[in-house]
Amino acid sequence: MEELQLRQMLILATAVAMVAAAALASDKLQTLPGCTSTCGGIEIPYPFGVGNSSTQPQQPCFLEPNFDLVCNNSKLNWGDFIISSINVTAHQMDVTFYVARFCNDSENDNNPWMSTAETFTVSRTENKFGTIGCNSLGFLQSTYDNNTYGTGCATQCNGTDATIIDDGSCSGIGCCHVDIPPRMRNISISAATYKPDDGWHGCSYSFVAKRNSYNFSITHLKIFQYLELPLVLDWTVGERNCSGFERSRVEYACMNNSDCNDADTDIGYRCMCKPGYQGNPYVGCTGVAATIVILFVGATSLYLIYQKRKLNKLREKYFKQNGGSILLQQLSTRENSSRMIQIFTEEQLKKATNNFDESLIIGSGGFGTVFKGFLENNSIVAIKKSKIVDESQKEQFINEVVILSQINHRNVVKLLGCCLEREVPLLVYEFVENGTVYDFLHTQKKVNSETWKTRLRIAAEAAGALSYLHSAASMPIIHRDVKTANILLDNTYTAKVSDFGASRLVPLDQTEIATMVQGTFGYLDPEYLLTSQLTEKSDVFSFGVVLVELLTGEKPHSFGRAEEKRSLSNHFLSCLKEDHMFDVLQFGMVNEENEKEIIEVAILAARCLRLKGEERPSMKEVASKLDAIRQMEKRPWINRDQNLEETQYLLDESSSSIYERGEDSSSHQNTSYDIIRDRIPFALDNGR
């Protein structure tokens, strides 16, 4: 109801503005009541007019006889001349006027003249006088008060040689032009030739023409097709100047809100609207500035109110559309939720990111773009903005909020809040400033014993976070997109597992759930690809790839490598099987101090990469094993041969399922790659 009232008010204000605009438009066409306003599409503003008023037969439609016009066959005539426009503001009138011609043939020679009356003069600013021909003369003469004065120009050229004449330019050869003197009235134009024995037998032409209405061409020396050209007349009213009306307003033509102006006139005066007014000064000027401002301010205020209400309605719509009600309900029913998330407004996050400035982007991927943001309390946050807006993305968004809201673990990135009042929903995380493990491995390229200790600690911390998600959370959570790009590092290189957009909650009475295959190429569990049955062991396989990535420093899959090495996990297992483990480890990382730890981690990675999920360890076992490896310095050492024997046993076990299907064992190194490439359709996700 309130929105309807706002719409009605806006429509009313618009209607008033349109009426005002129509009134302003009518000012441009003002004539006396009952008088003809147009003829053949040409406007007839007062003081000009045609005949008498139809409503007051005794009232002429013109101010004085000089402004009496005739409308004949849709042509507006002023004496013998056709009018093309009348401008009451500039006090000018455009007419067509004849071209003078001289051809030594008295029957075709022409010397036109115009009787203008005292209040009309040929405009010196809007016209030029020109002559066309070789060895030609042109004259423009004016007669007033028994005196004759004028101007003219001459051309010289050989009519048989046109190469020296500039086509398109009236340079004085073949064509000349001059400015119009002031106060030219009652004009006459003539053309002539001289030196008739110089081989020139063409005609000469002279004319007054409106500026830019005529362009010279060499062809005009032979054939000049113009009989008439447009000409501009300046006009004034009355016979007095402005000072003649100081004591008497009799016969004064300037109406309401207009002033008298006689600058640059020798006879008569002009009426001009006062500043802030517009219209026809001979009928009366209207003041519109204040009205327009009031209308503009009023309409703008109503529009802004309407837009604000509309925006609020839209935000409410997006809040519901993005699952806000469901989210609040789910959060309120989470008994074990250890903290409350903050609901941010769109304006807060726009301000925090300088309207999502691209220079603040710190990461992007398949599900969204992450911006660095600065809140008003000076805290730094990471703001995730989804790229695609569809129902599946919104479901993932709400899913991530629900999952993260119940997690409180030092190695899981904290969700601080969200924004639901825009089409693209937003998540606000704690800012983890040192990039990702993927960046650490493939960008920084640091290789030494200290780096291995950091890598081992990262592995143990990430494993601990995943173990917590699988077993210690109020409801088990399967991450479903474990990879180095989703493990963040803070300034002390502490690992923080992130990006739960693809994660799934697992009811306590279930061990697996059927779902569409989703994850990142190179990390996907082959069993999950074949069955679409998601289990905790799917995360274990992906974490096994992460361990291999930490050991080798190589990307999980690369078409730039040789075919047998494209799948990192398969190549790693193949090297272990052939007792070439140290060939695949990152060069320069292994030394006497860490060799034992690296072998243990390699064995653990092999266990995680078994094809059958039931044969893989749980994340709790993986986390415990990594913690134990970090404490190996306090334990007796087990010799290398024993570990390598265990490695061979594990690899044999990993490939047993292949043999059961009757496949050759040599194909094992490419098994995962072949499944992905040839047999299983899936969606790629290269993002964080």
Amino acid, single-letter form, for residue 540: V
pLDDT level of residue 655 (50, 70, 90 thresholds): very low
Instruction: For residue range 254-276, list pLDDT tens digits in order.
Output: 998 999 999 888 899 999 999 88
pLDDT level of residue 5 (50, 70, 90 thresholds): low
Output the pTM of the full model. Answer: 0.51
pLDDT at position 7: 58
Residue with token string 């409503």: 55
Best CA proximity match to 199, nearest among 153, 159, 242: 159
> What is the sign, positive or negative, of the torsion defined by CA atoms of 464, 466, 471, 473?
positive
Per DSSP, the residues of 335-356 read TT--SPPEE--HHHHHHHTTTT
Let me know: does 67 contact 50? Beta carbons within 8 Å. no
pLDDT at position 393: 58
Let me know: does 193 contact 204? Beta carbons within 8 Å. yes
pLDDT at position 683: 24
Q: Could you give the CA distance from residue 175 to residue 132 in angstroms, rounded to a whole number?
A: 5
- The three-state secondary structure class of 128 is strand
pLDDT level of residue 469 (50, 70, 90 thresholds): confident
Average pLDDT, the chain: 80
pLDDT at position 322: 67
DSSP 556: S
For 196, phi then psi, to 5°, come to -65, -15
pLDDT at position 29: 56
Mean pLDDT, range 318-339, rounded to an integer = 63
pLDDT at position 423: 75
Let me know: does 580 contact 573? Beta carbons within 8 Å. no
Domains, the chain: 90-235 (no CATH), 322-431 (3.30.200.20), 433-688 (1.10.510.10)
Report whether pLDDT(291) > 80: no
Marked catalytic residue, from 94, 481, 499, 539: 481
197 is a catalytic site residue: no
Mean pLDDT, range 51-60, rounded to an integer = 91
Let me know: does 220 contact 165? Beta carbons within 8 Å. no
pLDDT at position 681: 28
Report whether pLDDT(668) > 50: no
Mean pLDDT, range 78-85, rounded to an integer = 94
Report whether pLDDT(615) > 90: yes
599 Cβ contact partners less than 8 Å away, ≥ 6 residues apart: 581, 640, 643, 644, 647
Amino acid, single-letter form, for residue 156: Q
Let me know: does 686 contact 484? Beta carbons within 8 Å. no
Q: Could you give the CA distance from residue 302 to residue 304 in angstroms, rounded to a whole number?
A: 5
Amino acid, single-letter form, for residue 66: N
pLDDT at position 686: 32
pLDDT level of residue 654 (50, 70, 90 thresholds): very low
pLDDT at position 474: 62
Question: Any bridge partners for residue 140, and if so which?
Answer: 151, 189
Asked if the bond preceding 47 is cis, omega within 30° of 0, the reply is: yes
Q: Is 445 left (phi over 0), alpha (psi -120 to 50) or beta?
A: left
Q: Could you give the CA distance from residue 77 to residue 73 in angstroms, rounded to a whole number?
A: 10
pLDDT at position 507: 45
> What is the sign, positive or negative, of the torsion defined by CA atoms of 77, 79, 84, 88?
negative
pLDDT at position 156: 84
pLDDT at position 601: 95
Q: Could you give the CA distance from residue 569 to residue 609 in angstroms, rounded to a whole number?
A: 8
Percentage with pLDDT > 70 across the chain:
74
pLDDT at position 502: 52
Amino acid, single-letter form, for residue 209: A
Greater confidence (109 vs 322) lies with 109
Greater confidence (223 vs 319) lies with 223
Report whether pLDDT(292) > 50: yes
Q: Could you give the CA distance from residue 203 to residue 226 in angstroms, rounded to a whole number?
A: 13
Mean pLDDT, range 417-424, rounded to an integer = 80
Q: Could you give the CA distance from residue 142 to residue 248 in angstroms, rounded to a whole number?
A: 34
Let me know: does 549 contact 462? Beta carbons within 8 Å. no
Measured between alpha carbons, how far is residue 5 from residues 11, 302, 312, 313, 317 in Å? 10, 11, 16, 15, 20
Report whether pLDDT(27) > 50: no
Instruction: Please give the angle made by the CA atoms of 481, 444 and 354, to the nearest 5 degrees.
Output: 70
Token couple for 568: 């990192």
pLDDT at position 197: 59
Residue 145's CB is within 10 A of a number of other CB atoms, namely: 6
pLDDT at position 667: 37
What is the b/e burial string over 66-77, where b = at least 16 CB atoms within 10 angstroms of the residue's CB?
Answer: bbbbebeeeebb
Best CA proximity match to 150, nearest among 129, 133, 134: 129
Token couple for 603: 């064995």
- The three-state secondary structure class of 151 is strand
pLDDT at position 374: 94
Instruction: For residue range 137-181, list pLDDT tens digits in order.
Output: 999 999 988 889 999 999 988 755 666 788 888 988 889 999 999
Q: Please state which of the ranges 48-52, 224-228, 404-408, 414-418 shows the lowest mean pLDDT.
A: 404-408
pLDDT level of residue 17 (50, 70, 90 thresholds): low
Q: Please state which of the ranges 332-336, 342-346, 538-542 shows the lowest mean pLDDT.
A: 332-336
Instruction: For residue range 298-313, list pLDDT tens digits in order.
Output: 778 888 888 888 777 8
Let me know: does 205 contact 131? Beta carbons within 8 Å. yes
pLDDT level of residue 42 (50, 70, 90 thresholds): very high
Question: Any bridge partners for residue 178, and if so which?
Answer: 129
Q: Is 385 annotated as a binding residue?
A: yes
pLDDT at position 587: 85
